[in-house]
Structure 1
Amino acid sequence: MGFGSIFAFIFGLFLLYIIGILLVILIKIIIKLIVNGVLGGILLLIVNLIGGLIGISIVINPLTAIIAGIFGIPGIVLLLIMQNIL
């Protein structure tokens, strides 16, 4: 076993470690987007159900769903502020 083989083995382990870290980071981002999407959708429904009693509602369309899904609770607040300003 020469020096080149040992170097290649160490380099391969290093690349495997980097790929593993990137996959973990990607999975964390995907889980965060899923959680924000579910919370945003539930909040859109709650705002429309409870807010309908006091005159506040958010139209559910693809744009509002994307904003609520990506940003979660701050997205709902943003939609309510934008609706009252515009």
Structure 2
Amino acid sequence: MDPVITISIVVGLILILLLVGAPLKPMRWLGKSAIKLLIGAFMLFLLNTIGTSFDIHMPINIMTTCVSGFLGVPGLAALVIIKYAILP
């Protein structure tokens, strides 16, 4: 698909949402979820950056990002424990 058409569709949808108004609760829920996923990916990135000196590496994928984003630091610790203590 042509990038101009894709950008036009996205801009059109944004304009329609601005004119009609979006339902507030679902948009707030989606926004909070997106922020939590970004924070989870950032925590995994920091773990991988700092953990290189301790030989700790956790892959950054959708499942690990969801666990670390929605559960926070305890979820990140659980991922590390599961990877290094339970799995061979």
Letter in 1 for 2:61: N
Measured after TM superposition, the shift of residue 60 of structure 1 is 2.4
* Equivalenced residues, count: 64
Letter in 2 for 1:36: K
Q: Which has the higher contact order (CA 8 A, sep 6+)?
A: 1
Measured after TM superposition, the shift of residue 74 of structure 1 is 4.1
Listed as ranges, the gaps of 5+ residues in structure 1 are 1-22
Structure 1 vs Structure 2 CA RMSD:
2.1
1:67 corresponds to 2:67? yes
After the TM superposition, list the runs of 4 or more consecutive aligned residues in structure 1 that deviate by more than 3 angstroms.
68-75
Aligned to 1:77: 77
Are the equivalent residues in 2 in contact too, given 1:39–1:73 (CA < 8 A)?
A: no
Measured after TM superposition, the shift of residue 81 of structure 1 is 2.6
- Larger displacement relative to structure 2 (51-60 or 41-50): 51-60
TM-score by length of 2: 0.56
Q: Distance in 1 between matches of 2:66 and 2:32?
A: 14
1:25 corresponds to 2:25? yes
* CA displacement 1:39-83 (0-9 Å, x = unmatched): 111111110010111122212234323433444444323312322
Aligned to 2:49: 49
Listed as ranges, the gaps of 5+ residues in structure 2 are 1-22
